[in-house]
Amino acid sequence: MVSDDVLRTHLQELRRGTVVVASLVALRRPDYGYALLQRLTGHGFPVDANTLYPLLRRLEEQGLLTSEWNTEESRPRKFYRTSDSGKQVLERLLDDLAAVQTSLRTLIEGAPE
């Protein structure tokens, strides 16, 4: 029997890359960090705030996201949006993800039981 810790570690590794893809997809529509956190969780991508905010900063530094502050409300919020470069990278990531899914499906269907 596999321990919960081993399984949790592998699930975390599997989801790490998918959170990047999910964030780029979600942020095609501008949103602020906390709302993105809720959207991702609601769509099956649970992510901790301590993981998401550094990820958003990194994606912005890489030019894959743009951001701007909204100071019109009582509390200023930083809104993020997938940039044109981010959309190009997203397209490539989605293509690769589809190829991986196809390869896995072929492997599973062809694997003896």
Q: How many distinct structural domains can be found in the chain? A: 1
Q: How confident is the model at residue 2 (pLDDT cuts 50, 70, 90)?
A: confident
Range of the domain at 19: 4-110
Mean pLDDT of 76-100: 97
Measured distance CA(93)–CA(99) in Å, rounded: 10
Q: Which CATH number covers residue 101?
A: 1.10.10.10
CB atoms within 10 A of CB 42: 9
70, pLDDT greater than 80: yes
**pLDDT, averaged across the chain:** 93
pLDDT in tens, 21-58: 999 999 999 999 999 999 999 999 989 999 999 999 99
